Amino acid sequence: MKLQIALLAGDGIGPEVIDQAVKVSDAVARKFKHEITWAPALTGAAAIDAVGEPYPDETHAICVAADAVLFGAIGHPRFDHDPSAKVRPEQGLLKMRQKLGLFANVRPTFTFPSLLDKSPLKQERIEGTDLVFLRELTGGIYFGKRGREDNGETAYDTCTYTRAEVQRLAKKGFEMAMKRSKKLCCVDKANVLESSRLWRETVQAMEKEYPEVEVSYEFVDAVAMRLVQWPKAYDVLITENLFGDILTDEASVISGSMGLMPSASLGTKTSLYEPIHGSYPQAAGKDIANPLATVLSAAMLFEDKGLTEEADAIRAVVNRSLDEGMVTEDLADGGKSYKTSEVGDWLAEHV
């Protein structure tokens, strides 16, 4: 297969972890006889510095033309401490999500047998956890009407959803549930919010199209609690943008390290693959960041292209690196650790 992949390394540790995912993907391409062309493009603070805006039109054109996008991270502390900054890296992210129509953000949480002791939760509670969130990514309060009134003394943000937006996300959820354990949980706050009642009503109406899927409806506050109490109770969860933002950060600690979880954002124009962690500016340029979440994001990319064996090869070599202690310092418990680039080289070599 010929694949053209847009490469948006972004800020902080983005470029370093992306480099490792490229090495591993190239190794997979050699082994399975595929041809990958990488198309690098600017985004985030790096793009603000170069051309004055975080998601330039040129980058968008490269993404639209690509079969998929591999994304590192964006964000820079110099903007975090300046609430008056006119252009912010995160705006680039939101603009990109909107312009590429990345409406379904797939965020899995699973455990690695060799890392169970890294989780802050008790081993017996998390062992075997395998769940996936589908977070709606282009609607809700992130994109609703917002503003100030009363000379700036009152502020508001609004959460708006259309039935069609809920349906397309829920459809992905039902389809994913069919491929997994046929359990779907719709997470909302229908006891309070009108937008949540629309979600619930829409998903309920879709149930008859998927008679085999067992659907549960749970309030977001209860899910926040049960997620850490008994994560194995869940399989596929669908939810709106902000609830999904919060719950997926919470879920990521189950696996023990932020540096491990990959994600995919499925879109109308193209799809994007990225680690769930951020730009980790303190580690930038030090060659110490954990590249596995990005490498596993590349595996999700292959999987979505129907290249399951290729995806499995990446997951297998990642597991082997963990078993053999070929890990970055965040996973080394003060023992022997390796550089980001060394882990990437090892993975590429052992694919």
Question: Do the beta carbons of residue 263 and residue 97 sit within 8 Å?
Answer: no
Who's near 318: CB < 8 A, 6+ residues apart?
A: 292, 295, 296, 299, 347
What is the C-alpha to C-alpha distance for residues 348 and 27, in angstroms, rounded to an integer? 5
Note if 221 is an active site residue: yes
Which contiguous run of DSSP H or E holds residue 166? helix 163-179
What is the C-alpha to C-alpha distance for residues 174 and 170, in angstroms, rounded to an integer? 6
Note if 142 is an active site residue: yes
Q: Copy the structure tokens of residue 288.
A: 């110490």
Number of residues that bind Mg ion (CB under 5 A): 1
To the nearest whole angstrom, how small is the minimum distance from the Cβ of residue 333 to ligand IPM? Answer: 28
- Positions 162 through 181 that interact with Mg ion (CB under 5 A): none
Spell out, one character per residue from 244 to 273, where the chain touches Mg ion: x when CB under 5 A holds, - when not: -x----------------------------
Q: Copy the structure tokens of residue 103.
A: 């409406």
Biggest CA-to-CA distance, the chain: 63
Note if 312 is an active site residue: no
What is the C-alpha to C-alpha distance for residues 90 and 316, in angstroms, rounded to an integer? 33
Who's near 75: CB < 8 A, 6+ residues apart?
A: 11, 12, 44, 45, 89, 90, 278, 279, 281
Q: Given 3-state DSSP classes, what are the helix, strand and coil percentages for the chain, each rounded to the nearest 5?
A: 50, 20, 30
Cβ proximity to ligand IPM: between 91 and 321 the closer is 91
Q: Which entry of ligand IPM, Mg ion, none binds 90, CB below 5 to 8 A by partner kind? A: ligand IPM
Residue 268 CB-half CA count within 13 A: 12
Which of 57, 157, 249, 323 is the catalytic position? 249
245 binds ligand IPM (CB under 6 A): yes
Number of residues that bind ligand IPM (CB under 6 A): 3
To the nearest whole angstrom, how small is the minimum distance from the Cβ of residue 240 to ligand IPM? Answer: 12
16 binds ligand IPM (CB under 6 A): no
Cβ proximity to ligand IPM: between 245 and 303 the closer is 245
What is the C-alpha to C-alpha distance for residues 228 and 105, in angstroms, rounded to an integer? 21
Cβ proximity to ligand IPM: between 53 and 90 the closer is 90
Q: Which entry of Mg ion, ligand IPM, none binds 303, CB below 5 to 8 A by partner kind? A: none
Note if 210 is an active site residue: no
Note if 249 is an active site residue: yes
Nearest residue to 294 (alpha-carbon basis) of 4, 25, 6, 100? 25
Among 1-9, 92-100, 174-182, 240-248, the segment contacting Mg ion (CB under 5 A): 240-248
To the nearest whole angstrom, how small is the minimum distance from the Cβ of residue 93 to ligand IPM? Answer: 5
Which of 57, 157, 221, 333 is the catalytic position? 221
- Positions 66 through 105 that interact with ligand IPM (CB under 6 A): 90, 93
What is the C-alpha to C-alpha distance for residues 12 and 278, in angstroms, rounded to an integer? 8
19 binds Mg ion (CB under 5 A): no
Q: Which entry of Mg ion, ligand IPM, none binds 11, CB below 5 to 8 A by partner kind? A: none
Residues that bind ligand IPM (CB under 6 A): 90, 93, 245
Which residues are the active-site residues? Answer: 142, 189, 221, 245, 249
Residues that bind Mg ion (CB under 5 A): 245
